[in-house]
Structure 1
Amino acid sequence: MPIETWGGKFQRRFKENPFVPIFAGLTTASLIMASTKLRKRQSTSMNYWFRVRVLMQGLTLVAVVGGSWYYGQMKHQKDTKAAAEQERLIERLAFEARLRAAEEADQLEKLEAAARVKMGAGWFGGWWGKSAKSSEGDGKKEA
């Protein structure tokens, strides 16, 4: 597992949910503005920027929760899709295995039937040397 740098982590997180770092940056900017207004002793403007900071914090929180929920749903959908694909693959492999087994059984039956015909095995398995079909056929020729 490779070690992730700060910049790489920020880029990855920004791609996942771009609203969180944007609102966090706006929260920081509003706090800085409020602190500058405090130094200049502009209390009305300072209160305005503190209210903006509270609003930005709330939006940041909404972005965090909303992004977590959204990406959780997306992950759930991906997992469900992957599980369905896996199940289809397993069913297909099982079907192909059953098909191969049926084809092999069919080939084996054909070979056994051909061997029986070649040996002349009739109704009783060729115990008397001739099959029942060949003895019936001999009787029809004489008549």
Structure 2
Amino acid sequence: MTGGARGLGAAHARRLVAEDAKVVIGDVLVKEGQALVEELGARNALFVELDVTSEVSWTAAVARTEEVYGKVTGLVNNAGLVHRCPIEELTEADYRRVIDVNEIGVFPAPRRGSATSSRRARRSPAARTGTRTSPVC
């Protein structure tokens, strides 16, 4: 579950755990992610620090997931951000960060879903939730 530490991602994680799923919460929000794992219980959930724009971060997150739970069987692409500001204050760096997270970060996610079982990973369920895909000014 990318972007799983709060909001819609946390709601998805809670529902999945309620349905007896094991959930890996990937997010850059470490404290919030760890708190959610405490709420859900360590038997049901695992937190991994994950920056969806970083190949190194994805590799580490998938490796940790497979170490704890085995092969990846599904992926919810929930990570996303909105940058609210007056248009004259929006910088190119702000804009690029939104695009990197909301667009580029989700493109290769299913491909990264499992380094050890890439054929099965391509057939694993993947979902994209409705985060805005551009800056809001």
TM-score (norm 2): 0.28
Q: Which has the larger radius of gyration?
A: 1
Q: Which has the higher contact order (CA 8 A, sep 6+)?
A: 2
- The TM-score normalised by the length of structure 1 is 0.27
- Is the helix fraction higher in 1 or 2? 1
